Amino acid sequence: MTLEGLMLMEIKSDSSFPAGQGGRRREEGGGGSCCIGALKKKRRNCAELTTRRLRKKFAQKMLRKARRKLTYEKAKPCQMYRTEIRMARMARRAANFSVPAEPTLASVIRIRGIDGASPRVRKGLQLVHLRRIFTGTFVQARPCELQDAQRGISKRDFAD
C-alpha cells in the first residue's frame, strides 16, 4: 500500500469531524444529518430487539429449570420403588433377604393427663420423657417403643 493510501485511511478513521456532518468532510459534499437520525433509530431498534431476545431467552431458561425440577420430583418415588425392587433381586440372587427401609424416628406428643392410666402406661410416658401435658419428643421407631405408644393411645380412647 502506498503512503497516500495510508494517509487517506488515517483521515477517514479520524473522529475529529464537525458534529452533524455524519462523518464526512465538507469538501466531500457533507450534510449527513438525516443519516445520523436513521442511524440512531437503527441502533435503538437493535437494542430493543436484543433486549427482547435476551428476556425471552431468560424466560425460557427459567421455564426449563422449573420443568426439570418438576420432572425430578415426579420421578423420585418411581426411582425409590425401582431401587427397592433392585435390592430385593440382588438379595435373592445372593440367597439373602432384603429388608425394606422403614422410618427410624417417630414424633410423640402428650395431650392428656395420666389420671386413670395404668402403671405400665405411666412408666412408658416417663421413659420417653413426657412428664407434662403438651410436651413432645422424638423416639426411635423400634417395635417396643411404638407398642408402648399404641398402648397409651388405646388406653385413653384415642384409637381409631
Q: What angle do CA 16, 21, 22 make, to 5 degrees?
A: 90
pLDDT at position 101 = 76
Each residue of 12-30: pLDDT tens digit? Answer: 544 555 555 555 555 555 5
**CA 7, 13, 17: angle at the middle one, nearest 5?**
105
pLDDT of residue 160: 42
Query: Do 105 and 138 touch, CB atoms closer than 8 A?
Result: yes
pLDDT tens digits, 24-57: 555 555 555 667 888 899 999 999 999 999 999 9
Q: What's the Cα-to-Cα distance from 101 to each of 17, 85, 87, 92, 145, rounded to whole Å? A: 81, 12, 11, 17, 18
Quick: pLDDT tens for 90-102: 999 999 988 877 7
Residue 31 confidence (pLDDT):
52
Q: What is the pLDDT of residues 55-93, one digit of tens each?
A: 999 999 999 999 999 999 999 999 999 999 999 999 999
CA dihedral of 126, 130, 133, 134, whole degrees rounded to 10:
-170
For the cut 60, the answer to whether the pLDDT of residue 8 exceeds it is no
Give the three cell numbers for residue 128.
420417653
pLDDT tens digits, 100-159? 777 788 888 888 787 777 788 788 788 888 888 888 888 888 888 778 777 777 655 554
User: Where do the structural domains in the chain lie, given as residue ranges?
Assistant: 33-101, 105-155
Please report the pLDDT score of residue 130 as a whole number: 84
CATH fold of 105-155 reads Ribosomal Protein L30; Chain: A, (3.30.1390)
Q: Which amino acid is at 100?
A: P
